[in-house]
């Protein structure tokens, strides 16, 4: 049993991970300002602290009150398009807040951490599966802010013995198989939940951002990985983390799916025609990115249970039908 602090534990990937950690017998404290997260998403077995990482005093008091064995750091902003328009808020909310967290960890000698990094740290890649050795040249402020945090962590490994795993997620998708947790962002920006809002009659159509990318059907290719598989890799990472070591793992299925393929799969799953309209490219989007996740498999013994896009979409669709207004209502 470990005593764990989870920042952003009321958010989408955070809440699924908290549930997995609690079920594995860990003692979990969630620290979340509920700007994006939902109090109802936090597992009943976890302790909840309503706090903001931007408030160094609040961060200090949570560390002073608990002797944590490790930290899982999910809190942050994640909207690529918004980061292009408001870069400084991304550097503040991602980089500055993470520095506050790392400073408290150093003061309190907490030397094990798992960080929610992203495939957006790689930027425009060449269309082959991305390995952890692929050069990190992010093309959005979001990706650059996440890469800056990875560097703050690596420098902390060398300077004061932090042990850290950066999990570079590809596209988190789906919902817990029992329908108890799912994705609920306001406003919704991600492809699969927006498509399902069309299927549920809440939107008229899906906008496809760009159809002239150098990909087989002209739309962007991504690697959609189930949120419970992501939750599991966090558990494996924190349980095996040692002080003084930096690790980075890509977390994806290795399967690339285009936006058009996602829409088609959602049409099959929902039985709804899901009208699609082609619009301009969205700034900050790479054409194609999918994972070579063999390193996580080898070092963490992690294999995603969900390997089919349709199965992932089906779990998200079950969540949407049972919770048409997300966690509220």
Active site residues: 142
Q: Are 155 and 207 in contact (CB under 8 A)?
A: no
Strand partners, 224: 171
Is position 94 an interface residue for ligand UDP (rule: CB under 6 A)?
no
The nearer residue to ligand UDP, 62 or 314, going by C-beta atoms, is 314
Site for ligand UDP in 31-70 (CB under 6 A): none
**Site mask for ligand UDP (CB under 6 A), range 239-268, x = bound:** --------------------x---------
The nearer residue to ligand UDP, 12 or 249, going by C-beta atoms, is 12
The nearer residue to ligand UDP, 63 or 317, going by C-beta atoms, is 317
Find the shortest distance in angstroms from Cβ 290 to ligand UDP.
11
Rg of the chain in Å (alpha carbons): 19
Find the shortest distance in angstroms from Cβ 214 to ligand UDP.
13
Instruction: Figure out which of the listed residues 166, 285, 312, 318 binds ligand UDP, where binding follows CB under 6 A.
Output: 285
Site for ligand UDP in 219-238 (CB under 6 A): 220, 222
Q: Detail the DSSP E strand segments found in 220-268.
A: 221-222, 224-226, 246-251, 257-258
Task: Give the range of 24-32, 51-59, 204-212, 244-252 binding ligand UDP by CB under 6 A.
Answer: 204-212
DSSP characters over 139-207: -SHHHHHHHHHHHHHHHHHHHH--EEEEEEE-EEE---TTSS-----SS--SHHHHHHHHHTTSSS-EE
Site for ligand UDP in 143-202 (CB under 6 A): 171, 189-191, 194
Gap between the Cα atoms of 281 and 127, Å rounded: 18
Nearest to 262 by CA among 279, 274, 252: 274
Find the shortest distance in angstroms from Cβ 145 to ligand UDP.
14
Q: Detail the DSSP E strand segments found in the chain.
A: 3-7, 27-32, 47-50, 70-73, 112-118, 163-169, 171-173, 206-209, 221-222, 224-226, 246-251, 257-258, 276-279
Which position's Cβ is nearest ligand UDP?
Answer: 220
The nearer residue to ligand UDP, 268 or 280, going by C-beta atoms, is 280
Strand partners, 112: 163
Interface residue list for ligand UDP (CB under 6 A): 80, 171, 189-191, 194, 206-209, 220, 222, 259, 282, 285
């Amino acid at each position: 049993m470990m005593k764990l602090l989870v920042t952003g534990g009321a958010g989408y990937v955070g809440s699924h991970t908290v549930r997995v950690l609690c079920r594995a017998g860990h003692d979990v404290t969630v620290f979340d300002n509920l700007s994006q997260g939902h109090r109802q998403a936090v597992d009943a077995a976890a302790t909840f602290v309503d706090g903001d990482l931007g408030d160094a005093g609040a961060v200090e008091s949570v560390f002073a009150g608990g002797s944590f064995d490790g930290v899982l750091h999910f809190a942050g902003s994640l909207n690529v398009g918004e980061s292009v328009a408001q870069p400084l808020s991304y550097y503040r909310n991602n980089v500055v807040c993470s520095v506050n967290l790392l400073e408290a960890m150093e003061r309190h000698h907490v030397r094990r951490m798992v960080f929610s990094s992203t495939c957006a740290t790689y930027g425009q890649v060449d269309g082959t599966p991305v390995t952890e050795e692929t050069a990190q040249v992010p093309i959005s402020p979001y990706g650059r802010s996440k890469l800056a945090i990875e560097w703050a962590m690596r420098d902390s490994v060398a300077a004061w013995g932090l042990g850290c795993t950066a999990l570079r997620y590809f596209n988190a998708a789906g919902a817990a198989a029992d329908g108890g947790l799912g994705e609920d962002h306001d406003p919704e920006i991600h492809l699969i939940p927006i498509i399902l809002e069309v299927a549920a009659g809440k939107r008229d159509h899906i906008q496809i951002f760009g159809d002239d990318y150098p990909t087989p059907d002209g739309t962007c290719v991504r690697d959609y990985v189930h949120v419970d598989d992501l939750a599991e890799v966090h558990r494996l990472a924190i349980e095996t983390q040692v002080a003084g070591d930096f690790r980075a793992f890509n977390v994806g299925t290795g399967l690339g799916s285009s936006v058009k393929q996602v829409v088609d799969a959602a049409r099959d799953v929902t039985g709804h025609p899901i009208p699609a309209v082609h619009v301009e490219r969205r700034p900050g989007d790479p054409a194609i990115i999918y994972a070579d996740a063999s390193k996580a498999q080898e070092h963490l013994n992690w294999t995603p249970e969900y390997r089919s896009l349709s199965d992932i979409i089906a779990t998200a669709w079950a969540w949407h039908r049972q919770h048409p207004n997300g966690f509220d209502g």
